[in-house]
Structure 1
């Protein structure tokens, strides 16, 4: 376990794929990746036949000597698949830039859109999206990240499907849905009931109760003053991983709130990729 003390600062049935190519510029002073192909994909969920969507950024020039990797980016509460593709906030730019630098394929799904919290339907859709992306792109390794609800969901999905994920980066997420008091109505709708009515559904999505599932590299960022998704459960999970001798990075900002800086995002993402041998 490493703790960063940095300066404060059913395969998819494709119905429609809208795509175009554009140049992506990294942060000032970094290289420019000449072109990325953007595909906005519509597919039918194998779970309930509903129309679902994801966006992917595919580098036109792939890595030399090895297959490119796949990075799944999960948006926060109230957002959608475009957050990690378009948003200028540090977390989103950081993930995009790391993906571009490594010439990785970046996939950002709706995963049941604005109030997911990785309930059973979102989980099934994401399994389908990853399976389809692997079939089409033949990536080397698969990584997952997200912020807030997305950071929570990245941990949940990884614990539920550790065979599909080679590294996880949770930005300001919670690791205990049994104790999390935010967005109760949305979570209940996603999980099929309240935690009193469906305790096992909440329990299996409380990753700090299942740290043994996280055998892959893990990066966690937290803010000590985060009152939207309090950090305590994520900190406990990080400590469990440390005690177990896992490859894990914790970036905790005691004065930080409900966000992760560009620099910390890049550090966290680079950690999981490098720890996985990329």
Structure 2
């Protein structure tokens, strides 16, 4: 798998041009290294272009955010239902597929991860004709997708959240990792936890949202997402909730595909 680094806008432009004109690069994962504006550290993401990518045509992007303990390769390589469904949705609808580390294994979409995703989107928009962005993920990534959409509704046109939480104020697991990502505990940084809880910012979730949940999920209980989905429906927002009362902390391929198809259809309709 090619590894491409870029340390300036010019180098990033060269990367995109190379990918756009090389048919051999289409549908092949490219590991991109970049310098984060947030703190100057070296960060990574994987990009896969659709088969018939044309730099002159408008493009849509599907961002896939990995779960706790994983990295950018989870949604690129893993055969589990939610990962395969994301790849297949990108391929079927000819979307640019992007899978960031977003500060890797224990991110939870803290400030540094947030800044990295913003930077990736802005650079893609600067070098390609990107007009729509869908953010998705599973578990920690499902949480992160909701958080990022609530923080940056101007950058997000659709959300697919699988087995995530919408309320980090009440969520009580992985607290050490979340505190490290958020810069402190709930007691130390209460505003940070509120800021990153999508359920507490329904006014910002105006884009199509699809969520999958399991009633027996103990790793990330579904309660906050169920409440959020019902509240969004009451506001007549475009929402699809796929809840499996006997389900656990995973989403099967059929349900994940249904979630992606709903959001893609709504985003295309919105064009």
The separation in 2 between residues aligned to 1:172 and 1:277, in whole angstroms, is: 25
TM value normalised by structure 2: 0.89
> What corresponds to 1:76 in structure 2?
67
The change in CA–CA distance for 1:154 and 1:53 in structure 2 (over 3 A counts) is same
CA shift for structure 1 position 140: 2.7
Aligned residue number for residue 3 of structure 2: none
User: Structure 1 residue runs of 4+, over 4 Å off?
Assistant: 14-23
CA contact (8 A) 1:12 1:132 kept: no
Give me the TM-score of the superposition, normalised by structure 1: 0.87
- Residue in structure 1 matching 2:90, options 99, 103, 110: 99
Q: 24, 41, 48: which one pairs with 1:57?
A: 48
> Which residue of structure 1 lines up, in the alignment, with residue 243 of structure 2?
252
Q: Which residue of 2 aligns with 1:174?
A: 165
More strand by share: 1
Greater RCO (Cα-Cα under 8 Å, separation 6 or more): 1
Distance 1:171 1:114 in 2: 17
Q: How does 1:94-133 map to 2 (within 5 A)?
A: 94-133=85-124
| Residue 156 (structure 1) aligned to one of 124, 147, 160 | 147
Aligned position for 1:216? 207
Give yes or no for contact 1:67–1:139 (8 Å, CA) kept in 2: yes
Alpha-carbon distance in structure 1 between the residues aligned to 2:130 and 2:76: 20
The Cα shift of 1:39 comes to: 1.6
The superposition leaves residues 89-136 of structure 1 with CA deviations (integer Å, 9 ceiling, x where unpaired) of 000000000100011100000000000000000001110011111222
In the other structure, the counterpart of 1:206 is 197
Residue pair 1:21, 1:37 contacting (<8 A) in 2 also = no
- Which residue is 1:146 aligned to? 137
Alignment match, 2:76? 85
Kindly tell me: are residues 21 and 225 of structure 1, through their superposed partners in 2, closer, same or farther at Cα, counting changes over 3 Å?
Answer: farther
Displacement after TM superposition at 1:22 (Å): 7.0
Gaps of 5+ in 2: 1-5
CA distances 1:175-222 after superposition (whole Å, capped 9, x unpaired) = 000011110000000000000110000001111111111001000100
**1:67: Cα distance to partner?**
2.1
In 2 relative to 1, CA 262–127 (structure 1 residues): closer, same or farther, beyond 3 Å?
Answer: same
Q: Secondary structure at the match of 2:29?
A: strand
Tell me what 2:230 maps to. 239
Structure 1: which 5+ runs fail to align? 1-10, 24-34
Deviation at 1:245, TM superposition (A): 0.6
CA contact (8 A) 1:156 1:205 kept: yes
